[in-house]
C-alpha cells in the first residue's frame, strides 16, 4: 500500500530525476536527447507536485492540477521543439549540437 | 461573465479576439493579397492599445488566480506601446518576398506571446504565472526560427527553446518546493506562510535561477547573444525589449510581494549577480562588431541595472524599475529601429558599414545617436533619469559600493556606445551606405521612439504618475 512508503522516497526519486535531467542536458550532444532530458526534469516536477499533494495537503487538489498543466505545456513545448529540430536537420543535415555552431563568442 | 469582468480582463480578451480575427481574415485572402493583413493588423492593434488606456480599478477574478490594479494595467500599456512600435518597424522586412506567405503567422505568434505576458503580469498564483510564462516563450521560439531557410535563424530558435525549456524546468522545481513547504500556490497565502526555512530558501534559489535565464542575468546569459544575432532583427528587438521588460515587471512584483520575507537572504545573491551582470555585459559588448550582438550585450548590461532597483526594496525602487523599463523600451527600440531599417534595405548589420552614415542618412544617424545617448545615460535625454532613479533607490537602501560600481559601468558603456556614434559621424568611408527612404510605417515607428525618448526626459509627471500607482502594492 502507498501509506507504507514515506514521502521522502518520492522526493529522493524526483530530485535524482531532476539532476539526471540537468546532467543529460549539459552532456548530451543530440538535440532530441537534450529535449528528452528536459522532459525528465518536468516529470520530476510532476512527481514532486503529486507526492506533496497526496501526503501533505490532501484536502485540496492544487498539486494535481499543476501536474496536468505541466504535462500539457511540456507536450506543446516538445511539438515546437521537434518542428524546429526538423528544420535544423534540413538546414544542417545533422541534429548534433557540435554541428549547429554558426554563432559563437 | 458580465461587463465589469470583461473590462477587468480587456487586455487579454481583446488581444485573443484580435489574434483569432487575423487568422480568419488570412483564410479569406488570396495569396497575392496577403500583404493587406499588415495595415489591418496594425490599425486593429492601435485601437487595442487605445482601449488599454481606459481607466481600471483594483479587482480579482477566478478566485484569486487573476488580479489586476492600476499599476499592472500601466505595465501592460507600456508593453503595448512598445509592441506597436515593433510592429511599425517590422513592415519593410515583412513585405520581402520570402515572408509574403507568413505575414499573418508573424502577427498571430507575436500577439500570443503578448497575451502570455499580460496573463503573467496579472497572475495571482503560480499556475497562472507558469502558463503565462510558457505562452510568452514557446511562440517566441517559433518566431526566432521564422526565416526557415536561414541556418542562423533555425539555430537561434532551437537555442532559445531548449534554454527556456531548461529554465522553466528549474523554475518549476522551485515552485514545487514552494508548494511543498507552504501548501498553496496562491501568492497571497504564500506571502503569509513564507518563514525562511532552508527548504524555502532553496526553493527561492531554484525559482530565481529560472527567472534569471529569462532576464539573461550573467551566469545564465550565454544564450542571449546567439539568439539575438540569429533571429530576424525585429524579433530580436521584441525579445530584448518587450520580453525582457515583461520578465522584469513580474520579477519585481514577485520580489516585493511573495518573496518579501527572504529579502535579507536574496539581497546577497542579487548584489553579486548585479555586479557580474553589469561588468560582464559591458566587457563583452566592447569587442562586438555585429550590431545585433552589440545591442544584445548592451541589453544584458542594462538588465544588471534593473537589479539595483529591486535591491532598493522600497516604493522608490519599484517606481524606478518601471520607469527605467519604460525609458529602455523607447531607447532600445530607437536603436533597433535604425538597425532594422538599414538591414531591411541594404542587408548590412556590421558596425563598419555605418562609417560615414551621417553624410548620407542624417536623420537615421541622429535618431541612433539619441537612442544610444539615452541607453548610456547622458543627461538631457530620458536614459539619464532612468539610471539616476535606480541609483538613488539603491543608495537609499545603503548600497553605496554597488552604486559606485554601477556608475563605473555606466562610464564603460559610454565608451562603446560612442564607438557607434564615432563611426557614423567622424569615420570616413569610401563607400558609405547610399541614401534611402524607409516606408511610412517605419518612419512613424522611428519618430515615435524618438519622440518617446524626448518626452520621457522632459515631462517629469510620468515618474510621479507611476509613483502614485506604486503605493499600496507593497504589503
Q: Which of B165, B173, B175 sits opposite A77 (nearest CB)?
A: B165
Q: Which of B125, B162, B300 is most worth mutating to test chain A (most A CB atoms within 10 A of its CB)?
A: B162
Q: Which three cell numbers stand for residue B54?
A: 481606459
DSSP code, position B398:
T
Average pLDDT over residues A56-70: 91
Which one has a higher pLDDT value, A83 or B56?
A: A83
Query: Do the beta carbons of residue B143 and residue B122 sit within 8 Å?
Result: no
Nearest one of A30, A24, A2, A51 to B158, comparing CA atoms? A30
In a domain, B282, yes or no: yes
Question: Could you say which residues of chain B have pLDDT below 70?
Answer: 1, 472-475
In a domain, B450, yes or no: yes
At B69 the pLDDT is 86
Note the pLDDT tens digit of each residue in B423-435. Answer: 888 888 777 777 7
Nearest one of B466, B460, B178 to B309, comparing CA atoms? B466
Q: What pTM was computed for the model?
A: 0.92
Cα separation of A51 and A16, whole Å? 15
Average pLDDT over residues A77-95: 90
Query: How many domains are contained in chain B?
Result: 1
A27 CB within 8 Å of a chain B CB: no
Under the banding of pLDDT at 50, 70 and 90, the label for residue A1 is low
- Is the pLDDT at A96 greater than 90? The verdict is no
At B141 the pLDDT is 92
| Interface residues from chain B to A (CB-CB < 8 Å) | 126-127, 130-131, 134, 138-139, 141-142, 145, 148-152, 154-158, 161-162, 165-166, 169-170, 172-173, 175-177, 179-180, 183-185, 225-226, 229-230, 284
A17 CB within 8 Å of a chain B CB: no
User: Cβ separation of B161 and A77 shorter than 8 Å?
Assistant: yes
In a domain, B475, yes or no: no
Place of cell 559621424: B425
| Structural domain harbouring B352 | 3-470
Query: Do the beta carbons of residue B62 and residue B9 sit within 8 Å?
Result: no
At B1 the pLDDT is 65
At B475 the pLDDT is 45
Instruction: Confirm whether the ipTM is greater than 0.85.
Output: yes
In a domain, B187, yes or no: yes
Amino acid at each position: 500500500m502507498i501509506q507504507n512508503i514515506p514521502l521522502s522516497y518520492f522526493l529522493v526519486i524526483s530530485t535524482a530525476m531532476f539532476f539526471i535531467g540537468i546532467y543529460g542536458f549539459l552532456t548530451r550532444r543530440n538535440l532530441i536527447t537534450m529535449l528528452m532530458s528536459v522532459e525528465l526534469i518536468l516529470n520530476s516536477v510532476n512527481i514532486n507536485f503529486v507526492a506533496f499533494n497526496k501526503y501533505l495537503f490532501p484536502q485540496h487538489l492544487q498539486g494535481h492540477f499543476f501536474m496536468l498543466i505541466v504535462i500539457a505545456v511540456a507536450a506543446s513545448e516538445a511539438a515546437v521543439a521537434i518542428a524546429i529540430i526538423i528544420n535544423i536537420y534540413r538546414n544542417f543535415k545533422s541534429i548534433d549540437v557540435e554541428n549547429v555552431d554558426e554563432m559563437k563568442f | 461573465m458580465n461587463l465589469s469582468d470583461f473590462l477587468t480582463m480587456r487586455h487579454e480578451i481583446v488581444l485573443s479576439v484580435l489574434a483569432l480575427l487575423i487568422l480568419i481574415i488570412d483564410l479569406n485572402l488570396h495569396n497575392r493579397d496577403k500583404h493587406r493583413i499588415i495595415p489591418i493588423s496594425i490599425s486593429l492593434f492601435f485601437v487595442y492599445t487605445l482601449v488599454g488606456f481606459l481607466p481600471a480599478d483594483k479587482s480579482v477574478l477566478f478566485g484569486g488566480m487573476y488580479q489586476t490594479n492600476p499599476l499592472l494595467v500601466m505595465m501592460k500599456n507600456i508593453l503595448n506601446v512598445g509592441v506597436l512600435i515593433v510592429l511599425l518597424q517590422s513592415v519593410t522586412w515583412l513585405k520581402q518576398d520570402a515572408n509574403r506567405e507568413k505575414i499573418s503567422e508573424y502577427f498571430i505568434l507575436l500577439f500570443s506571446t503578448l497575451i502570455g505576458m499580460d496573463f503573467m503580469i496579472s497572475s495571482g498564483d503560480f499556475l497562472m504565472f507558469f502558463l503565462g510564462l510558457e505562452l510568452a516563450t514557446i511562440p517566441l521560439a517559433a518566431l526566432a526560427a521564422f526565416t526557415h531557410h536561414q541556418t542562423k535563424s533555425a539555430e537561434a530558435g532551437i537555442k532559445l527553446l531548449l534554454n527556456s525549456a531548461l529554465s522553466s524546468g528549474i523554475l518549476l522545481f522551485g515552485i514545487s518546493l514552494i508548494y511543498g513547504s507552504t501548501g498553496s500556490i496562491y501568492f497571497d497565502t504564500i506571502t503569509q506562510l513564507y518563514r525562511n526555512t532552508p527548504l524555502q530558501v532553496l526553493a527561492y534559489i531554484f525559482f530565481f535561477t529560472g527567472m534569471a535565464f529569462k532576464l539573461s542575468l550573467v551566469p545564465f546569459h550565454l544564450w542571449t547573444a546567439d539568439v539575438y544575432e540569429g533571429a530576424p532583427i525585429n524579433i530580436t528587438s521584441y525579445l530584448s525589449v518587450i520580453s525582457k521588460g515583461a520578465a522584469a515587471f513580474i520579477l519585481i512584483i514577485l520580489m516585493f510581494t511573495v518573496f518579501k520575507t527572504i529579502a535579507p537572504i536574496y539581497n546577497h545573491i542579487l548584489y553579486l549577480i548585479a555586479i557580474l551582470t553589469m561588468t560582464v555585459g559591458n566587457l563583452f559588448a566592447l569587442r562586438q562588431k555585429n550590431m545585433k550582438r552589440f545591442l544584445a550585450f548592451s541589453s544584458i548590461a542594462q538588465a544588471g541595472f534593473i537589479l539595483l532597483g529591486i535591491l532598493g526594496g522600497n516604493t522608490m525602487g519599484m517606481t524606478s524599475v518601471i520607469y527605467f523599463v519604460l525609458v529602455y523600451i523607447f531607447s532600445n527600440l530607437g536603436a533597433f529601429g535604425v538597425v532594422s531599417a538599414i538591414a531591411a534595405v541594404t542587408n548590412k548589420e556590421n558596425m563598419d558599414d555605418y562609417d560615414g552614415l551621417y553624410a548620407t542618412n542624417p536623420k537615421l544617424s541622429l535618431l541612433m545617436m539619441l537612442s544610444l545617448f539615452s541607453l548610456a545615460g547622458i543627461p538631457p535625454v530620458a536614459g539619464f533619469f532612468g539610471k539616476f532613479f535606480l541609483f538613488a533607490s539603491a543608495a537609499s537602501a545603503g548600497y553605496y559600493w554597488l552604486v559606485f560600481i554601477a556608475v563605473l559601468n555606466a562610464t564603460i558603456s559610454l565608451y562603446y556606445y560612442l564607438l557607434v556614434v564615432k563611426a557614423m559621424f567622424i569615420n570616413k568611408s569610401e563607400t558609405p551606405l547610399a541614401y534611402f527612404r524607409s516606408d511610412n510605417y517605419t518612419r512613424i515607428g522611428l519618430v515615435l521612439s524618438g519622440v518617446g525618448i524626448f518626452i520621457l526626459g522632459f515631462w517629469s509627471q510620468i515618474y510621479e504618475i507611476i509613483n502614485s500607482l506604486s503605493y499600496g502594492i507593497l504589503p
